[in-house]
Amino acid sequence: MADSVAAASLIGYRPLCGGLSVKDTSYRRKSLSSCRCPIKEAVGKRVVYSSPMLPRLKIDRLVNTSIKALATELTKEVYSYREEERIPRTWNYRVDTGVDRKPGLWPPENRADNALLHNPLIRQERMGCSWLGAIFEWEGVIIEDNPDLERQAWLALSREEGKPTPPAFILRRVDGMKNEQAISEVLCWSRDPPEMKRMATRKEEIYQSLQGGIYRLRTGSKEFVNILMHYKIPMALVSTRPRKTLESAIGTVGIEGYFTAIVAAEDVHRGKPDPEMFIYAAQLLNFIPQRCIVFGNSNQTVEAAHDAFMKCVAIASKHPVYELGAADLVVRKLDELSIVDLKNLADIESPEFGPVELETELEPEDDNDRSTSAGVDDIFW
């Protein structure tokens, strides 16, 4: 590049005097042969020639316009090349998604793909979304939850049955349980199955009368479910409500047909924190538990999901974010999640989902063998 500039520059170009006529200070035309003179000095834009036969000449107007333009273009090219070298080649732009995330978490790393897998069909399956399932709770995740109505239903039932009024911490314990389970194990009102069934049904009737059949979707829940439908991710819905009530509520909010499986109170024996509901939902989806992600809004859900070897996403709808730290991921709304987040959570190569190590029991040594070996040693010595 430098040679090109020098070749086209004013100083190194010979036809400067060879093809043009010059004049001295007396304005007499000189012959072209006498113009072949060495350069004396170059000051700024003026190039001064000196010769024993010629006086000092000013040749500002002798510069060829085309040569000057070529030199200018080459100089610009050199400087632009230097500027390109200064531009960093690594782009660390942060994508603005409108969601507050911790530094370094966006864009999330996709751990679903494994370049060490030589089978392209297996890699294609892993890069797709058909290898993971989503299990949603109903209240507090899909629709808005109202814990006060649940508390009022239990208090009204206790007054009807003539039972002692349960304190607030007891009512917090029954959150997420089946009605029969709460009546027999926590409230200790009865252990007779027909009686428990009667009181559980009555409690549900009181709750539905207080609730009034009005359901309101949480912000971002329907949009997130639509995204999972677009990527063909199987979804299941679990709840401790009766199936008839649950199916009626699903039709009211307009999301019927979204869920592959529905697990209601009639399908399980126990509610949370027992993982029975989530294990049964995974069986209906034909997935192993390690490939399922549970979406809940309480620590009982987190405990049940982890007991079933499932990852859990906690929705901070009823509890603040700092109380749900045991979950694998905590969000305020479902639409804050992406498909890549779900793939990373369902990574079955995580160390906590490794093979279960069986405890080995050492066989007790036989005293007869020990005495025999000792006898042999005595005989030897």
Report the sign of the C-alpha dihedral through residues 367, 373, 375, 378, in that order. Answer: negative
165: left (phi over 0), alpha (psi -120 to 50) or beta: beta
Query: What DSSP string runs through 204-217?
Result: HHHHHHHHTT---B
- Kindly report the number of other CB atoms within 10 A of residue 179's CB atom: 26
Beta-bridged to residue 46, according to DSSP, are 43
Cα–Cα distance for residue pair 286/131, rounded to 1 Å? 10
- Indicate yes or no: pTM above 0.75: no
**229 bridge partner residues:** none
**For the chain, first and last CA: distance in Å?**
95
Give the C-alpha separation, 133 to 308, whole Å: 14
Cβ neighbourhood burial of 140 (10 Å; 0-12, 13-18, 19+)? buried
Q: For the purposes of burial, counting CB atoms within 10 Å of the CB of 135, is it exposed (0-12), middle (13-18) or buried (19 or more)?
A: buried
Reported for 143-152, long-range contacts at CB under 8 A and 24+ positions apart, including other chains, are 143/215, 143/216, 143/217, 143/218, 143/221, 143/249, 143/253, 144/215, 144/216, 144/217, 144/218, 144/317, 145/297, 145/317, 145/318, 146/211, 147/175, 147/318, 149/207, 149/210, 149/211, 150/175, 150/207, 152/210
Between CA 332 and CA 321 the distance in angstroms is 8
pLDDT tens, residue order, the chain (381 aa): 555 544 544 444 444 444 444 445 444 554 444 445 454 444 444 544 455 444 444 444 444 566 777 777 767 665 655 544 444 444 444 444 444 444 555 555 656 566 677 777 666 666 667 778 999 999 999 999 888 899 999 999 999 999 999 999 999 889 889 999 999 999 999 999 999 999 999 999 999 999 888 899 999 999 999 999 988 899 999 999 999 999 999 999 988 889 999 999 999 999 998 999 999 999 999 998 988 999 999 999 999 999 999 999 999 988 888 999 899 999 999 989 988 888 888 765 544 444 445 455 555 555 555 544 444 444 444
What does the pLDDT look like over 222-268, one tens digit per residue? 999 999 998 889 999 999 999 999 999 999 998 888 999 999 999 99
pLDDT reported for residue 249? 92
Angle in degrees, CA 314, 186, 266, rounded to 5:
65
With contact defined as beta carbons under 8 Å apart, do 356 and 343 qualify? no
